[in-house]
């Protein structure tokens, strides 16, 4: 059973299969009792993965169009004919896909599979974007939670956030050179909400936004959901290529520039001071605001604490965004941003119509944690451990072959590594999953996903040094297997006589 499948279309392949089979079933071309081909055979005939066929069949089952029986396969279901009154007519299953707004329809879920795999207990995960939960300061937080005023912890806070926490953040940010009063700060339900608010406030369909290439994959999805045209500017070891940026600013006139200048995700790069100043000067020249995403700024391994871009901004062009998720508890979903008053007013309106306020108990606990200097103590214990894990990962990689760190990060969570050109990203991800190892493929971090085929992102903070040693060993083993497979394939091709 061969179907007309367009693998380059925006509609996912499994949806195309589901829709084609649904049409044939409803039209009677596939009658009740017809046995659909087994998933593997169907996949081979149509040159798709078996998991894609399984998802398509599951969609048909959810619509009641097919049923599965052990030993019999997937069968077209009998049409149910309920008793009809004179007011009733036949109701077909609702087809949801055509109803979705186009800019949402065009966004593929490329993250769920690797991220879901990473949380399985039998998998060594280098895919996660979080720190090690075993290092959370649980005893301190539990003690603070017990001492909270119960009436206060169960009540509303201001839309902009709990004022004492905003005061505390104002003081804490001053250490990084950021001058912001509490009224300049808004508490968010995670920093991702700040990216969303910026997109919804500034972007209309067709507007341009500048990003680093590669960049944070969820930011890409957020800007696509807004219907934006995403313009990628390449990075080097000094950060965003400002020499390339100027021409793109003149050409596209973007609504804003999105950047992660400090311990960039996924590359770990720190933008040099020269580039930071050049970026600000270009923003001033073209009157383009900057969204600075800074989730990793506190996670530095050297004595030199990176200065935030916002600290260098003397004209109010930078919207600063950060989160507690990387240094404390990702499940608390508390972040914050610093922005000029006109921007904060618009964001406050969006906050009111989305979730009204950030989590009250979490805000109260975090305020107490900062007030008692718990953050300083926690980072003092945390950073040497993460540095040790980074060093372990680099050490194991150096002992093997076929995996090359692009640069050695001086902080943050990730190594950005190059794999051999002979190794297929798709085959490597699948083989690693079979071996019990997960990572994130490089193409996820590019707006068009047509680049990054030979890069992978590895998180070194989530698992122990022992797991890093074992997991990287398995990853290198998988790369070697596929590299050898490619060599054998080339030898076979070269030895095949030309007729």
The Cα–Cα gap between 357 and 19 comes to 41
β-partners of residue 231 are 210
Does the pLDDT value for residue 113 go beyond 70?
no
Domain 112-129+377-486 maps to which CATH number in 3.90.180.10, 3.60.60.10, 3.40.50.2000, 3.90.1150.10?
3.90.1150.10
β-partners of residue 416 are 457
The residue that leads in pLDDT, 81 or 400, is 400
Does the pLDDT value for residue 83 go beyond 90?
no
The pLDDT, as a whole number, for residue 114 is: 54
Distance of CA 395 to the CA centre of its chain: 27
In eight-state DSSP terms, residue 355 is T
Does the pLDDT value for residue 5 go beyond 80?
yes
* Terminal alpha carbon distance of the chain: 33
As a whole number, mean pLDDT of residues 171-197 equals 93
As a whole number, mean pLDDT of residues 191-217 equals 96
Report the half-sphere exposure of 340 (CA within 13 A, side-chain side). Answer: 11
pLDDT tens digit sequence for 14-66: 999 998 899 888 888 888 888 899 888 898 888 889 989 999 998 888 888 98
Does the pLDDT value for residue 82 go beyond 60?
no
Average pLDDT of the chain to the nearest whole number: 88
Measured CA to CA in angstroms, residue 444 lies from 110, 219, 432 at distances of 7, 11, 17
Task: Give the number of other Cβ atoms within 10 Å of residue 427's Cβ.
Answer: 14
β-partners of residue 230 are 209
Measured CA to CA in angstroms, residue 334 lies from 185, 194, 301 at distances of 13, 11, 24
The pLDDT, as a whole number, for residue 498 is: 44
For 387, the 3-state DSSP assignment is: helix
Considering 3-12, 49-58, 76-85, the range whose residues carry the highest mean pLDDT is: 49-58
Query: With bands split at pLDDT 50, 70 and 90, how would you rate the model's confidence at 488?
Result: low
As a whole number, mean pLDDT of residues 464-469 equals 97
Task: Determine what percent of the chain is predicted with pLDDT higher than 90.
Answer: 61
pLDDT tens digit sequence for 404-456: 999 999 999 999 999 999 999 999 999 999 999 999 999 999 998 778 999 99
β-partners of residue 76 are 66
The Cα–Cα gap between 448 and 165 comes to 39
Query: With bands split at pLDDT 50, 70 and 90, how would you rate the model's confidence at 495?
Result: very low
Lowest mean pLDDT among 137-146, 264-273, 393-402: 137-146
Does the pLDDT value for residue 111 go beyond 80?
no
User: For the domain 138-372, what is the CATH code?
Assistant: 3.40.640.10
Task: Give the number of other Cβ atoms within 10 Å of residue 407's Cβ.
Answer: 15
- The residue to which tokens 């004022």 are assigned: 163
Task: Determine what percent of the chain is predicted with pLDDT higher than 70.
Answer: 91
Structure tokens at 73: 């396969």
pLDDT tens digit sequence for 269-286: 999 999 999 999 999 999
The CATH architecture of the domain made up of 1-79 is Orthogonal Bundle (1.10)
Global pTM reads 0.79
- The residue to which tokens 């008053």 are assigned: 341
Query: Please, is 158 exposed, middle or buried when counting C-beta atoms within 10 Å of its C-beta (0-12, 13-18, 19+)?
Result: middle
Query: With bands split at pLDDT 50, 70 and 90, how would you rate the model's confidence at 329?
Result: confident
Locate the domains of the chain by residue range: 1-79, 112-129+377-486, 138-372
The Cα–Cα gap between 306 and 314 comes to 18
Nearest to 191, CA basis, from 288, 297, 115: 297
Nearest to 283, CA basis, from 307, 319, 308: 319
Does the pLDDT value for residue 191 go beyond 90?
yes
Lowest mean pLDDT among 50-54, 214-218, 341-345: 50-54
Query: With bands split at pLDDT 50, 70 and 90, how would you rate the model's confidence at 486?
Result: low
The Cα–Cα gap between 4 and 286 comes to 48
For 432, the 3-state DSSP assignment is: helix
The pLDDT, as a whole number, for residue 266 is: 97
Distance of CA 451 to the CA centre of its chain: 16
The Cα–Cα gap between 409 and 230 comes to 26
Structure tokens at 289: 């605001």
Query: Please, is 142 exposed, middle or buried when counting C-beta atoms within 10 Å of its C-beta (0-12, 13-18, 19+)?
Result: exposed
β-partners of residue 415 are 458
The Cα–Cα gap between 36 and 50 comes to 14
Lowest mean pLDDT among 301-305, 316-320, 402-406, 474-478: 301-305
pLDDT tens digit sequence for 121-146: 789 999 999 999 999 988 888 888 77
214 within 8 A of 266, measured Cβ to Cβ: yes
Structure tokens at 265: 């995700």
232 within 8 A of 211, measured Cβ to Cβ: yes
**Backbone dihedral angles phi then psi of residue 74, each to the nearest 5 degrees:** -100, 125
42 within 8 A of 60, measured Cβ to Cβ: no
The pLDDT, as a whole number, for residue 499 is: 36
The residue that leads in pLDDT, 112 or 152, is 152
């Amino acid at each position: 059973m061969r179907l007309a499948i367009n693998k380059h279309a925006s509609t996912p392949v499994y949806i195309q299969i589901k829709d084609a089979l649904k049409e044939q079933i409803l039209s009677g071309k596939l009658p009740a009792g017809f046995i659909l081909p087994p998933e593997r055979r169907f996949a081979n005939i149509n040159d798709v993965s078996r998991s894609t066929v399984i998802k398509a069949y599951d969609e048909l089952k959810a619509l009641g169009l097919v049923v599965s029986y052990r030993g019999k396969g997937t069968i077209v279901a009998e049409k149910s004919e309920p008793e009809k009154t004179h007011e009733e007519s036949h109701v077909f299953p609702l087809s949801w896909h055509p109803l979705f707004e186009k800019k949402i329809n065009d966004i593929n879920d490329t993250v769920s599979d690797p991220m879901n795999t990473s949380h399985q207990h039998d998998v060594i995960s280098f895919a996660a974007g979080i720190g090690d939960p075993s290092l959370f300061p649980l005893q301190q937080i539990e003690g603070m939670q017990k001492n909270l005023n119960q009436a206060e912890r169960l009540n509303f806070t201001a839309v902009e956030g709990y004022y004492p926490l905003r005061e505390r953040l104002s003081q804490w940010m001053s250490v990084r050179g950021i001058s912001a009063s509490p009224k300049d700060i808004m508490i968010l339900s995670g920093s991702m909400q700040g990216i969303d608010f910026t997109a919804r406030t500034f972007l209309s369909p067709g507007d341009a936004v500048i990003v680093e290439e590669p960049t944070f994959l969820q930011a890409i999805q957020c800007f696509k959901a807004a219907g934006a045209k995403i313009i990628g500017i390449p990075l080097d070891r000094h950060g965003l290529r400002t020499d390339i940026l100027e021409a793109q600013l003149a050409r596209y006139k973007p609504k804003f520039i999105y950047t992660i200048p400090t311990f960039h995700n996924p590359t770990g790069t720190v933008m040099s001071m020269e580039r930071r100043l050049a970026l600000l000067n270009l923003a001033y020249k073209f009157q383009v605001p900057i969204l600075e995403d800074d989730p990793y700024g506190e996670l530095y391994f050297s004595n030199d604490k990176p200065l935030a871009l916002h600290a260098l901004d003397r004209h109010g062009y930078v919207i600063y965004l950060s989160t507690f998720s990387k240094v404390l508890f990702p499940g608390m979903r508390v972040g914050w941003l610093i922005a000029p008053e006109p921007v904060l007013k618009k964001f406050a309106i969006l906050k009111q119509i989305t979730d009204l306020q950030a989590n009250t108990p979490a805000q109260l606990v975090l305020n107490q944690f900062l007030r008692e200097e718990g953050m300083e103590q926690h980072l003092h214990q945390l950073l040497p451990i993460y540095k040790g894990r980074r060093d372990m990962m680099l050490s194991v990689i150096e002992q093997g072959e076929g995996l090359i760190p692009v640069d050695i990060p001086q902080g943050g969570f990730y190594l950005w590594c190059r794999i051999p050109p002979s190794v297929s990203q798709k085959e490597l991800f699948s083989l690693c999953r079979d071996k019990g190892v997960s990572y994130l493929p490089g193409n996820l971090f590019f707006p068009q996903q047509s680049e990054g085929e030979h890069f992978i992102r590895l998180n070194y903070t989530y698992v122990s040094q022992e797991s890093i040693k074992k997991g990287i060993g398995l990853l290198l083993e998988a790369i070697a297997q596929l590299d050898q497979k490619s060599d054998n394939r080339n030898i076979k091709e070269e030895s095949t006589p030309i007729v």
